[in-house]
């Protein structure tokens, strides 16, 4: 059995299938992990979600900001402004079923894999973690959002998840502010400072970090205990400079590559239009 972790698909269904064919993915024996942003920007978000849902237990996904936005749009909870390519998905006869399926997915996924170097822990999330968070803390806080998203009052969460404030995590946060910060860290973080203030508008690479800020993975404390798998940041082009922190979004939707990492041996595979 092999475990393949795929970067941001963003509705690029055909490239996903071609990449999986290239690596020899077999749903009967292999696992596919997806780092989030399954939909939007690409042309076939509907087919992508249908395929991943149909994989059943052979697929593990975490939610990204675009996935949450689809759920909010479907439920009438998203701001009216903003562009998206979700019309076909939103109008599909199974849109409700797909939205409900996504609402059941986690924001962080942890597992232990038997690799060539022995048993290794892996934590998958869409964007990153706050400097103060341990592995256990990350899983506990992700679970708070998952409970809100799956509960009876999930629309209240969806309506209030948008926004950049509060700017950083602290243990005293409560209610919707608390859930918003957790969500922003797990699905939107790129740059932060050493106490966790988020700089959510900057999307460039490492050389263009805003003054006083660094990539979140320069502060994280989890990688000695678990490999970190994330997407969201195409400008990194798959590089973090840290051997146990793996960037999987290599910007296919921007004309570059769709990447898969095989956890058992650390080998990377890529598909591009070139």
Which CATH number goes with the domain that contains 51? 3.60.21.10
Per cent of the chain over pLDDT 90 is 95
DSSP class of residue 243 equals: T
pLDDT value of position 102: 98
Q: Residue 274: pLDDT above 80?
A: no
Question: What does the pLDDT read at residue 84?
Answer: 78
pLDDT of residue 235: 97
Residues 6 or more apart from 216 whose CB is under 8 A from it? 127, 128, 129, 130, 131, 189, 190, 191, 192
pTM for this structure?
Answer: 0.97
How many domains does the structure of the chain reveal?
A: 1
Helix axes 13-23, 45-54, angle to 10 degrees: 40
Q: What is the pLDDT of residue 273?
A: 82
Q: What is the mean pLDDT of residues 63-88?
A: 91
pLDDT at 239 over 80: yes
Angle at which helices 135-150 and 175-188 cross, to 10°: 120
What pLDDT is recorded for position 207? 87
Tell me what pLDDT residue 80 has. Answer: 73
Question: Is the pLDDT reported for residue 48 higher than 80?
Answer: yes
Instruction: Please provide the distance, in angstroms rounded to a whole number, between the alpha carbons at the two ends of the chain.
Output: 30
Q: Mean of the pLDDT values across residues 25-34?
A: 97
The Cα 57–Cα 179 span in angstroms is: 28
Structural domain containing residue 213? 3-272
């Amino acid at each position: 059995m092999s475990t393949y972790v795929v970067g941001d698909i963003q509705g690029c269904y055909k490239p996903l299938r071609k990449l999986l064919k290239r690596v020899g993915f077999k749903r009967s024996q292999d696992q596919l992990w997806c780092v989030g942003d399954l939909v939007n920007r690409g042309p076939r978000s509907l087919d992508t979600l249908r395929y991943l849902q149909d994989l059943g237990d052979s697929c593990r996904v975490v939610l990204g900001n675009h996935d949450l936005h689809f759920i909010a749009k479907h439920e009438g909870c998203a701001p009216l402004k903003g562009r998206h390519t979700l019309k076909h998905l939103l109008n599909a006869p199974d849109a409700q079923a797909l939205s409900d399926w996504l609402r059941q997915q986690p924001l962080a996924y942890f597992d232990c894999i038997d690799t060539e170097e022995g048993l290794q822990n892996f934590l998958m999330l869409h964007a990153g973690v706050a400097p103060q968070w341990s592995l256990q803390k990350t899983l506990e806080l992700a679970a708070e959002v998952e409970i809100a998203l799956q509960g009876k009052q999930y629309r209240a969460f969806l309506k209030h998840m948008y926004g950049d404030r509060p700017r950083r995590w602290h243990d005293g946060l409560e209610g919707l502010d608390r859930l918003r910060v957790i969500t922003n860290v797990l699905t939107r973080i790129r740059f932060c400072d050493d106490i966790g203030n988020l700089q959510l508008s900057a999307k460039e690479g490492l050389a263009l970090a805003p003054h006083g800020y660094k990539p979140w993975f320069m502060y994280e404390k989890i990688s000695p205990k678990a490999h970190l798998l994330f997407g969201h940041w195409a400008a990194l082009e798959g590089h973090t400079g840290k051997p146990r922190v793996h960037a999987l979004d290599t910007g296919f939707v921007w004309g570059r590559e769709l990447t898969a990492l095989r956890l058992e041996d650390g080998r990377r595979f890529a598909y591009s239009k070139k």
